[in-house]
Amino acid sequence: MATKKTAREDGKLPGQSPNKEPPLPKGALLPSSFAEPQGNGGETHQQAAGEDTIITTQQGVPIADDQNSLRAGQRGPTLLEDFILRDKIFHFDHERIPERVVHARGYGAHGVFELTDSLADVTTAKVLSEVGRETDVFVRFSTVAGRAGSMDLARDVRGFAVKFYTSQGNWDLVGNNIPVFFIQDAIKFPDLVHAVKEEPDRAFPQAQSAHDNFWDFVSLMPEAWHMIMWQMSDRTIPRSFRTMEGFGVHSFRLVNEAGKSTFVKFHWKPRQGLQSVLWNEAVKINGADPDFHRRDLWDAIESGDFPQWDLGVQLFDEDMAAGLDFDHLDATKLIPEEVVPLRMVGTMTLNRTVDNFFAETEQVAFCTQNIVPGIDFSDDPLLHGRNFSYLDTQLKRLGSPNFTHLPINAPRCPVMHFQQDGHMAMVNPKGRANYEPNSWGAVGGPREGGTRGFASFPAPAEGAKLRVRSETFADHYSQARQFYRSQMPIEQKHLRDALVFELSKCERVDIRARAVSHLVNIDAEMAALVADGLGMEVPPAAVAARPTLDLPLSPALSIIANGPPSFRGRKLGILLSDGSDAAIFKALTAAIDAEGAVWEVVAPRIGGVTLDDGAMIAARHKIDGGASVLFDAVAVLPSAEGAERLSTDAPSRDFVSDAFAHCKFIGFGKGASALFAAARLPEELDAGFVPLDDKGHVGGFVEQLSQLRFWAREMKVDLDAKSAAKPRKGK
């Protein structure tokens, strides 16, 4: 029996050969090269535009048959010489690079930063001094604790890292959506991460801090408790990447042409406004769509609703720093915006999704050490540790000191040096000289830039070498109190609920008590309410190194107080059935479109519904796949007959009962009553329900949506809500 050939020199299919090869066995596949090309229209480094889209090996060798291994006979053994098979399997075996120890689950996008207010008086960095300059950026958002396969809506800090491809080199502003951190010194970072990750003997819980190890650690670390207030707040369950603030966390220096230094803290303010979800909502979103944040960012950019953030800076000098009631080098502290107002200097717009997630989002390498002339470091000990750690991490993850050769990490300005060789070196310097200084003149390669190059600010440094924490870092509770008391009452309630939930997951009662002892120092009433929620007595206050101060309230710390001015960029879910009112549906969707928001139809069948005027409307979601947690507000517009049918369906009842429990605005038509009754909504509907029994009511409903939530409802539907009505304390 003749051996089946994988390709023919005469171009004929097997079975058409003059040699009359036997027919292919039943089920055998034809070589893909004889089919119409099915490429995605993109290009790779092996393929130029306009060339035939023939699949190749990693070495660029065209492949005739990508369906069958080379074997001896139709049923014989695979041959060792099959380099096409080995090339394909070799790459598959090594597809995964080690995921990040922290910030493993991330999502990125490209964009541009435009400077609108020059900082030339305080820095020589061109990206911050030349008004109108547009600088390409790549942004990666992420959770911290979970693995790459974890869910988006974990209660967690979010990474907010921006790579600026400046004309003076890459600048990485590697921040979070929270302006402070758990620890003051980088030597504690491995302990923090080990404590918050899944417990090593059982490998759970995944992407959660609600377990004994984490709370044991932080209950022994008073410096962590300002960050704990942020972590237990709604800041760690954001509605979207688009509705998060970003912070550089640390104090940096800006250095001007005269060599003068000014301290700076960086802030990103979302033009979309701040917004978060409820915890119960987050849990259900993770079940309905674990990729909720990813999908939201992708959809926004692909639809042309480009997310934007304004870059603000807090500028202050040594004298002002000395007058603060805390040490600005302490990463567990922030400078309230009311003390040092933000100076808004530019806008970042994300306008392009990635072409390939792995090549860009997964392989992007951020390093806090990546700064450009005109920007320098402060003496923050946590920042110094990060400068060491990030570079070391990239070598482990990407396998080579040449990770800057990857396109996503490559600077977009001239790169000239004498570094050479190493694993995965894609570009090496040309010429004879590979050292400096050399005497080869013009062909001898690059030279030092003198005043045009980077120069560290000559900050004075002296003293004995000691392992010691500065006394100026010792106030651990004053800003924690300020943060808690600056929240709106409903936000304070959410924060307390989160503390009760997390500590209830601790098996050891002594850990719970130790944690609550820190709360006593922050706010005695909060501590009492949390202790009550845990069914325990309030323990004595933890020993405080410094007295807790009553600092002025900071309204900038509240999410609700800094929400969006409209419903723009948000999403309305519209529940329809056959026979729904066409006039109201058309008026509502037109108003939502005019608002710059998104609407999606939820229906009993994915094929859609027929309205009362005979119009066919396609559905985006089948009711059991389109839970109300996926939307910012809902409109319930079934016909009376449709509502009767939906009232027997558990997902339909959940749609309205969850929207009610999550304090969402609910527009409803005349026919919705049967469904509301089946979902056991109150007979007397609150002001968060808006009748839509006439198309003239649509405008008022859309106007109310800018509030995002009807928070007054939570006080009536939650067992722990009554205490949230008490007024805030503070100056």
Amino acid at 356: N
What is each CA distance from 639 to 306, 332, 596, 691, in whole angstroms?
Answer: 36, 55, 27, 14
Mapped onto helix, strand or coil, the DSSP state of residue 600 is strand
Is residue 176 among the annotated active site residues? yes
User: Which of 597, 598, 622 has its CA nearest to residue 609?
Assistant: 622
Task: Tell me how far CA of residue 598 lies from CA of 153, 563, 573, in angstroms.
Answer: 21, 18, 9
Task: Tell me which residue has tokens 């053994």.
Answer: 77
| Sheet strand arrangement including 689-691 | 621-622, 598-603, 571-575, 633-636, 666-668, 689-691
Selected catalytic residue, list 68, 170, 176, 370: 176
CA-nearest of 285, 213, 292 to 502 is: 213
8 A C-beta contact, residue 698 and residue 633: no
Whole-angstrom Cα distance, residue 297 to residue 294? 5
Residue closest to 494 by CA, chosen among 233, 679, 311, 197? 233
Of 648, 511, 422, nearest in space to 221 by CA? 511
Q: Is 521 a catalytic residue?
A: no
Long-range pairs, 362-365, Cβ under 8 A, ≥24: 362/97, 362/106, 363/97, 363/398, 363/403, 363/406, 363/408, 363/409, 364/108, 364/138, 364/140, 364/163, 364/408, 364/409, 365/394, 365/397, 365/398, 365/403, 365/404, 365/406, 365/409
CA nearest to 245, candidates 183, 337, 115, 362: 337
Provide the annotated active-site residues: 103, 176
